[in-house]
Amino acid sequence: MNKVVVTQKLPYPVVEKLSGYNIFYNDKDTQMDRNELLMQTTDADAIVSMLSDRIDKELIDNAKKLKIIVNYAVGFNNIDVVYAKEKGIVVCNTPHILTETTAELAFALMISVARRVVEADRFTRGGRFKGWTPNLFLGTDLYRKRVGIFGFGRIGQAFARCCRGFEMDIVYTGKSRKFDGELLTNAKYLPFEEFVSTSDFIVVTAPLNESTRYTFTIDTFKKMKRDAIFINVGRGPIVKESDLAFALKNHLIRGAGLDVYENEPEVHPELIDLENVVLLPHIGSATEDTRYNMADLCIRSIRNFLEKGERPWNEV
Protein backbone atom coordinates (compact mmCIF):
# COMPACT_ATOMS: atom_id res chain seq x y z
CA MET A 1 0.00 0.00 0.00
CA ASN A 2 1.43 3.38 -1.02
CA LYS A 3 2.12 5.79 1.81
CA VAL A 4 1.17 9.46 1.54
CA VAL A 5 2.38 12.04 4.07
CA VAL A 6 0.25 15.18 4.34
CA THR A 7 2.25 17.56 6.48
CA GLN A 8 -0.46 19.87 7.79
CA LYS A 9 -4.21 20.05 8.28
CA LEU A 10 -6.05 20.99 5.08
CA PRO A 11 -9.59 22.37 4.63
CA TYR A 12 -10.45 19.19 2.77
CA PRO A 13 -11.57 15.61 3.62
CA VAL A 14 -8.05 14.22 3.25
CA VAL A 15 -8.67 10.81 4.83
CA GLU A 16 -11.79 10.11 2.77
CA LYS A 17 -10.16 11.23 -0.50
CA LEU A 18 -7.08 9.09 0.18
CA SER A 19 -8.94 5.88 0.98
CA GLY A 20 -6.88 2.86 0.00
CA TYR A 21 -3.62 4.56 1.01
CA ASN A 22 -1.48 4.32 4.08
CA ILE A 23 -1.82 7.94 5.24
CA PHE A 24 0.21 9.92 7.69
CA TYR A 25 -1.90 13.03 8.18
CA ASN A 26 -0.67 15.77 10.49
CA ASP A 27 -4.21 16.81 11.37
CA LYS A 28 -3.02 19.95 13.19
CA ASP A 29 -2.70 23.61 12.32
CA THR A 30 0.97 23.55 13.25
CA GLN A 31 3.95 22.65 11.12
CA MET A 32 5.51 19.21 11.56
CA ASP A 33 8.64 19.08 13.63
CA ARG A 34 11.69 18.45 11.40
CA ASN A 35 12.57 15.11 13.01
CA GLU A 36 9.04 13.85 12.69
CA LEU A 37 8.91 14.97 9.06
CA LEU A 38 12.13 13.08 8.34
CA MET A 39 10.86 10.02 10.16
CA GLN A 40 7.46 9.93 8.50
CA THR A 41 8.82 10.47 4.99
CA THR A 42 11.44 7.67 5.25
CA ASP A 43 9.01 5.16 3.71
CA ALA A 44 6.66 7.60 1.94
CA ASP A 45 5.74 7.27 -1.73
CA ALA A 46 4.20 10.74 -1.87
CA ILE A 47 4.26 13.96 0.14
CA VAL A 48 1.82 16.85 0.23
CA SER A 49 4.13 19.57 1.56
CA MET A 50 3.44 23.09 2.78
CA LEU A 51 5.53 26.11 1.76
CA SER A 52 6.93 26.16 5.29
CA ASP A 53 8.36 22.59 4.97
CA ARG A 54 11.98 22.37 3.89
CA ILE A 55 12.18 19.61 1.29
CA ASP A 56 15.95 19.52 0.88
CA LYS A 57 18.69 17.02 -0.01
CA GLU A 58 18.66 15.51 3.47
CA LEU A 59 14.95 14.75 3.33
CA ILE A 60 15.08 13.52 -0.27
CA ASP A 61 18.02 11.20 0.43
CA ASN A 62 16.24 9.90 3.49
CA ALA A 63 12.98 9.19 1.62
CA LYS A 64 14.14 6.23 -0.43
CA LYS A 65 10.70 5.33 -1.86
CA LEU A 66 9.60 8.87 -2.66
CA LYS A 67 8.09 9.26 -6.14
CA ILE A 68 6.11 12.50 -6.01
CA ILE A 69 6.10 15.73 -3.99
CA VAL A 70 3.11 18.04 -4.33
CA ASN A 71 3.51 21.47 -2.79
CA TYR A 72 0.34 23.05 -1.43
CA ALA A 73 1.33 26.40 -3.02
CA VAL A 74 2.32 27.80 -6.37
CA GLY A 75 5.72 28.98 -5.07
CA PHE A 76 8.17 26.08 -4.64
CA ASN A 77 11.30 27.79 -3.30
CA ASN A 78 11.08 25.51 -0.21
CA ILE A 79 11.92 22.46 -2.36
CA ASP A 80 15.26 21.48 -3.87
CA VAL A 81 13.59 20.83 -7.22
CA VAL A 82 16.83 20.22 -9.12
CA TYR A 83 17.93 17.52 -6.70
CA ALA A 84 14.48 15.91 -6.55
CA LYS A 85 14.41 15.69 -10.34
CA GLU A 86 17.90 14.21 -10.40
CA LYS A 87 16.51 11.48 -8.17
CA GLY A 88 13.59 10.93 -10.56
CA ILE A 89 11.02 12.43 -8.19
CA VAL A 90 8.13 14.35 -9.73
CA VAL A 91 7.54 17.79 -8.15
CA CYS A 92 4.19 19.57 -8.53
CA ASN A 93 2.61 22.80 -7.32
CA THR A 94 -0.87 24.35 -7.47
CA PRO A 95 -0.77 26.95 -10.26
CA HIS A 96 -3.77 28.77 -11.84
CA ILE A 97 -6.39 27.88 -9.22
CA LEU A 98 -5.10 30.48 -6.75
CA THR A 99 -4.29 33.18 -9.28
CA GLU A 100 -7.38 35.41 -8.99
CA THR A 101 -7.59 34.91 -5.20
CA THR A 102 -4.01 36.09 -4.68
CA ALA A 103 -4.43 38.98 -7.12
CA GLU A 104 -7.51 40.09 -5.19
CA LEU A 105 -5.54 40.11 -1.94
CA ALA A 106 -2.81 42.21 -3.57
CA PHE A 107 -5.50 44.63 -4.65
CA ALA A 108 -7.02 44.66 -1.17
CA LEU A 109 -3.60 45.52 0.26
CA MET A 110 -3.03 48.26 -2.30
CA ILE A 111 -6.33 50.00 -1.62
CA SER A 112 -5.97 49.50 2.17
CA VAL A 113 -2.61 51.27 2.21
CA ALA A 114 -3.67 53.99 -0.23
CA ARG A 115 -6.78 54.83 1.79
CA ARG A 116 -5.28 54.03 5.22
CA VAL A 117 -8.13 51.62 5.95
CA VAL A 118 -6.46 49.60 8.70
CA GLU A 119 -5.00 52.64 10.43
CA ALA A 120 -8.41 54.34 10.35
CA ASP A 121 -10.07 51.22 11.75
CA ARG A 122 -7.61 51.20 14.69
CA PHE A 123 -8.33 54.90 15.24
CA THR A 124 -12.11 54.40 15.30
CA ARG A 125 -11.98 51.34 17.57
CA GLY A 126 -9.65 53.27 19.87
CA GLY A 127 -12.49 55.77 20.48
CA ARG A 128 -10.58 58.61 18.84
CA PHE A 129 -13.19 59.51 16.19
CA LYS A 130 -14.60 62.83 17.40
CA GLY A 131 -16.32 63.94 14.19
CA TRP A 132 -15.65 64.57 10.50
CA THR A 133 -12.78 66.89 9.66
CA PRO A 134 -11.29 67.92 6.31
CA ASN A 135 -7.88 66.50 7.20
CA LEU A 136 -8.80 63.18 8.73
CA PHE A 137 -6.87 60.27 7.18
CA LEU A 138 -6.02 61.80 3.86
CA GLY A 139 -4.93 59.05 1.52
CA THR A 140 -4.07 58.83 -2.13
CA ASP A 141 -6.09 57.84 -5.20
CA LEU A 142 -5.66 54.78 -7.36
CA TYR A 143 -7.59 56.24 -10.26
CA ARG A 144 -5.32 56.86 -13.27
CA LYS A 145 -2.17 56.41 -11.20
CA ARG A 146 0.76 54.36 -12.48
CA VAL A 147 0.97 50.83 -11.07
CA GLY A 148 4.18 48.87 -11.63
CA ILE A 149 4.01 45.09 -11.50
CA PHE A 150 7.15 43.13 -10.66
CA GLY A 151 6.44 39.53 -11.72
CA PHE A 152 4.08 39.85 -14.67
CA GLY A 153 2.98 36.20 -14.75
CA ARG A 154 -0.35 34.63 -13.88
CA ILE A 155 -0.95 36.56 -10.63
CA GLY A 156 0.65 39.77 -11.91
CA GLN A 157 -1.59 39.79 -14.98
CA ALA A 158 -4.73 38.93 -12.97
CA PHE A 159 -3.82 41.85 -10.70
CA ALA A 160 -3.41 44.08 -13.78
CA ARG A 161 -6.95 43.16 -14.84
CA CYS A 162 -8.23 44.38 -11.44
CA CYS A 163 -6.36 47.66 -11.96
CA ARG A 164 -8.04 48.31 -15.31
CA GLY A 165 -11.31 49.04 -13.49
CA PHE A 166 -9.56 52.04 -11.91
CA GLU A 167 -8.12 53.16 -15.27
CA MET A 168 -4.63 52.75 -13.87
CA ASP A 169 -1.57 53.16 -16.06
CA ILE A 170 -0.15 49.64 -15.89
CA VAL A 171 3.58 49.01 -16.35
CA TYR A 172 5.77 45.99 -15.66
CA THR A 173 9.41 45.01 -15.79
CA GLY A 174 11.32 41.74 -15.95
CA LYS A 175 13.72 39.58 -17.87
CA SER A 176 11.41 39.17 -20.84
CA ARG A 177 8.48 40.85 -22.56
CA LYS A 178 5.03 39.28 -22.09
CA PHE A 179 3.30 40.24 -25.34
CA ASP A 180 0.06 38.34 -24.61
CA GLY A 181 -0.17 39.94 -21.18
CA GLU A 182 0.43 43.38 -22.70
CA LEU A 183 -2.41 42.86 -25.15
CA LEU A 184 -4.81 41.52 -22.53
CA THR A 185 -4.15 44.19 -19.88
CA ASN A 186 -2.83 47.17 -21.82
CA ALA A 187 0.37 47.05 -19.76
CA LYS A 188 3.63 48.61 -20.98
CA TYR A 189 7.09 47.14 -20.47
CA LEU A 190 9.66 49.44 -18.81
CA PRO A 191 13.33 48.90 -17.97
CA PHE A 192 13.81 48.38 -14.22
CA GLU A 193 15.18 51.87 -13.40
CA GLU A 194 12.31 53.69 -15.13
CA PHE A 195 9.80 51.24 -13.65
CA VAL A 196 11.06 51.98 -10.14
CA SER A 197 11.34 55.75 -10.46
CA THR A 198 8.00 56.43 -12.19
CA SER A 199 5.51 54.05 -10.52
CA ASP A 200 3.07 55.36 -7.94
CA PHE A 201 2.45 51.80 -6.73
CA ILE A 202 4.91 48.92 -7.00
CA VAL A 203 3.41 45.49 -6.56
CA VAL A 204 5.55 42.36 -6.24
CA THR A 205 3.96 39.19 -7.60
CA ALA A 206 7.21 37.44 -8.53
CA PRO A 207 8.59 34.10 -7.30
CA LEU A 208 11.67 33.90 -5.12
CA ASN A 209 14.66 32.83 -7.21
CA GLU A 210 18.27 33.94 -7.51
CA SER A 211 17.29 36.75 -9.92
CA THR A 212 14.63 38.20 -7.60
CA ARG A 213 16.28 37.78 -4.17
CA TYR A 214 16.87 41.24 -2.58
CA THR A 215 15.74 43.15 -5.65
CA PHE A 216 14.24 45.75 -3.32
CA THR A 217 16.86 47.23 -1.00
CA ILE A 218 17.53 50.72 0.27
CA ASP A 219 19.05 51.66 -3.11
CA THR A 220 15.77 50.78 -4.82
CA PHE A 221 13.59 52.50 -2.23
CA LYS A 222 15.66 55.69 -2.59
CA LYS A 223 14.91 55.72 -6.32
CA MET A 224 11.14 55.44 -5.82
CA LYS A 225 8.77 58.40 -5.72
CA ARG A 226 8.44 59.83 -2.20
CA ASP A 227 4.71 59.18 -2.53
CA ALA A 228 5.09 55.58 -3.73
CA ILE A 229 3.32 52.64 -2.13
CA PHE A 230 5.03 49.24 -2.10
CA ILE A 231 3.10 45.95 -1.96
CA ASN A 232 4.57 42.45 -1.68
CA VAL A 233 2.53 39.27 -2.14
CA GLY A 234 5.35 37.37 -3.89
CA ARG A 235 7.93 36.14 -1.41
CA GLY A 236 9.57 37.90 1.52
CA PRO A 237 13.27 37.63 0.60
CA ILE A 238 12.66 39.59 -2.61
CA VAL A 239 12.78 42.55 -0.21
CA LYS A 240 15.40 43.47 2.37
CA GLU A 241 12.96 43.98 5.21
CA SER A 242 15.22 46.16 7.39
CA ASP A 243 15.72 48.48 4.39
CA LEU A 244 11.98 48.68 3.83
CA ALA A 245 11.45 49.53 7.50
CA PHE A 246 14.07 52.29 7.21
CA ALA A 247 12.41 53.65 4.05
CA LEU A 248 8.99 53.71 5.70
CA LYS A 249 10.25 55.20 8.96
CA ASN A 250 12.10 57.98 7.13
CA HIS A 251 9.28 58.59 4.65
CA LEU A 252 11.39 57.72 1.60
CA ILE A 253 8.14 56.15 0.41
CA ARG A 254 4.57 56.70 1.52
CA GLY A 255 3.52 53.24 2.66
CA ALA A 256 3.64 49.51 2.21
CA GLY A 257 1.47 46.42 2.39
CA LEU A 258 3.00 43.02 3.02
CA ASP A 259 1.65 39.49 2.95
CA VAL A 260 5.05 37.78 3.00
CA TYR A 261 8.23 38.24 5.05
CA GLU A 262 11.95 37.70 4.79
CA ASN A 263 12.09 35.22 7.72
CA GLU A 264 8.55 33.96 8.14
CA PRO A 265 6.81 33.86 10.52
CA GLU A 266 9.04 36.60 12.00
CA VAL A 267 8.22 40.18 11.08
CA HIS A 268 10.93 42.81 11.37
CA PRO A 269 10.24 44.49 14.76
CA GLU A 270 10.53 48.01 13.34
CA LEU A 271 7.67 47.30 10.94
CA ILE A 272 5.34 46.39 13.80
CA ASP A 273 5.55 49.91 15.26
CA LEU A 274 4.89 51.76 12.00
CA GLU A 275 1.46 53.10 11.06
CA ASN A 276 2.18 53.35 7.33
CA VAL A 277 2.41 49.62 6.71
CA VAL A 278 -0.32 46.98 6.58
CA LEU A 279 0.88 43.54 7.68
CA LEU A 280 -0.93 40.33 6.76
CA PRO A 281 -0.01 36.76 7.83
CA HIS A 282 0.63 35.21 4.38
CA ILE A 283 -3.02 34.76 3.37
CA GLY A 284 -2.76 35.41 -0.38
CA SER A 285 -4.60 32.25 -1.43
CA ALA A 286 -6.69 31.95 1.73
CA THR A 287 -10.29 31.62 0.62
CA GLU A 288 -12.42 28.56 1.34
CA ASP A 289 -12.93 27.69 -2.34
CA THR A 290 -9.33 28.16 -3.36
CA ARG A 291 -7.79 26.29 -0.45
CA TYR A 292 -10.21 23.37 -1.09
CA ASN A 293 -9.36 23.37 -4.79
CA MET A 294 -5.62 23.45 -4.04
CA ALA A 295 -5.97 20.39 -1.80
CA ASP A 296 -8.09 18.63 -4.40
CA LEU A 297 -5.44 19.24 -7.06
CA CYS A 298 -2.71 17.89 -4.74
CA ILE A 299 -4.58 14.69 -3.95
CA ARG A 300 -5.69 14.09 -7.56
CA SER A 301 -2.13 14.64 -8.81
CA ILE A 302 -0.87 11.96 -6.41
CA ARG A 303 -3.63 9.45 -7.13
CA ASN A 304 -3.44 9.83 -10.92
CA PHE A 305 0.32 9.50 -10.86
CA LEU A 306 0.58 6.55 -8.48
CA GLU A 307 -2.48 4.65 -9.74
CA LYS A 308 -2.45 5.39 -13.49
CA GLY A 309 1.07 6.64 -14.10
CA GLU A 310 -0.35 9.94 -15.39
CA ARG A 311 2.27 12.69 -15.57
CA PRO A 312 0.71 15.65 -13.69
CA TRP A 313 -0.02 18.76 -15.76
CA ASN A 314 1.09 20.80 -12.74
CA GLU A 315 4.64 19.41 -12.63
CA VAL A 316 7.19 22.20 -12.09
Q: Which residues bind ligand NAP (CB under 6 A)?
A: 74-75, 95, 98-99, 102, 150-156, 174-176, 205-209, 211-212, 233-235, 259-260, 282, 284-285
- In the complex with ligand NAP, which residue's Cβ is closer, 268 or 303? 268
SS (H, E, C) 211-271: CCCCCECHHHHHHCCCCCEEEECCCHHHECHHHHHHHHHCCCCCEEEECCCCCCCCCCHHH
Sequence-distant (≥ 6) Cβ neighbours of residue 21 within 8 angstroms: 1, 2, 3, 4
Q: Closest CB to ligand NAP among 2 and 173?
A: 173
| Candidates 36, 104, 182, 264; catalytic one | 264
Taking the least distance from each CB to ligand NAP, the nearer of 40 and 285 is: 285
Nearer to ligand NAP among residue 81 and residue 208 (C-beta): 208
**Is the CB of 89 or the CB of 155 nearer to ligand NAP?**
155
Q: How far is the CB of 214 from ligand NAP (least distance, A)?
A: 11
Tell me the residue number closest to ligand NAP, measured at CB: 153
Element (H, E) at 84: helix 81-86
- One-letter identity of residue 181: G
Task: Tell me if residue 132 falls in helix, strand or coil.
Answer: coil
Bridge-based pairing state of the strands 188-189 and 201-204: unpaired
Please compute, for residue 82, the number of CA atoms within 13 A of its CA located in the half-sphere on the CB side. 1
Catalytic residue from among 116, 154, 282, 291: 282
Count the residues in the chain.
Answer: 316
Phi, psi of 163, rounded to the nearest 5 degrees: -70, -25
Cβ 172 to ligand NAP shortest distance, Å: 8
> Considering the complex, what minimum distance in angstroms separates the CB of residue 20 from ligand NAP?
31
The Cα 80–Cα 280 span in angstroms is 27
| 255 closest CA partner among 234, 279, 237 | 279
Is residue 282 flagged as an active site residue? yes
> Which residues are CB-neighbours of 277 under 8 A, at least 6 positions away?
113, 248, 255, 256, 257, 258, 271
User: Is 125 tagged catalytic?
Assistant: no
Q: Output 229 or 233, the one with its CB closest to ligand NAP.
A: 233
Whether 291 is catalytic is no
What's the closest the beta carbon of residue 246 comes to ligand NAP, in angstroms? 23
Residue 257: which residues within 8 A CB-CB, separation 6 or more?
109, 110, 112, 113, 229, 230, 231, 232, 277, 278, 280
Closest CB 15 distance from ligand NAP, rounded Å: 26
Q: How far is the CB of 152 from ligand NAP (least distance, A)?
A: 5
Choose, from 235, 254, 291, 303, the residue flagged as catalytic.
Answer: 235
Active site residues: 235, 264, 282
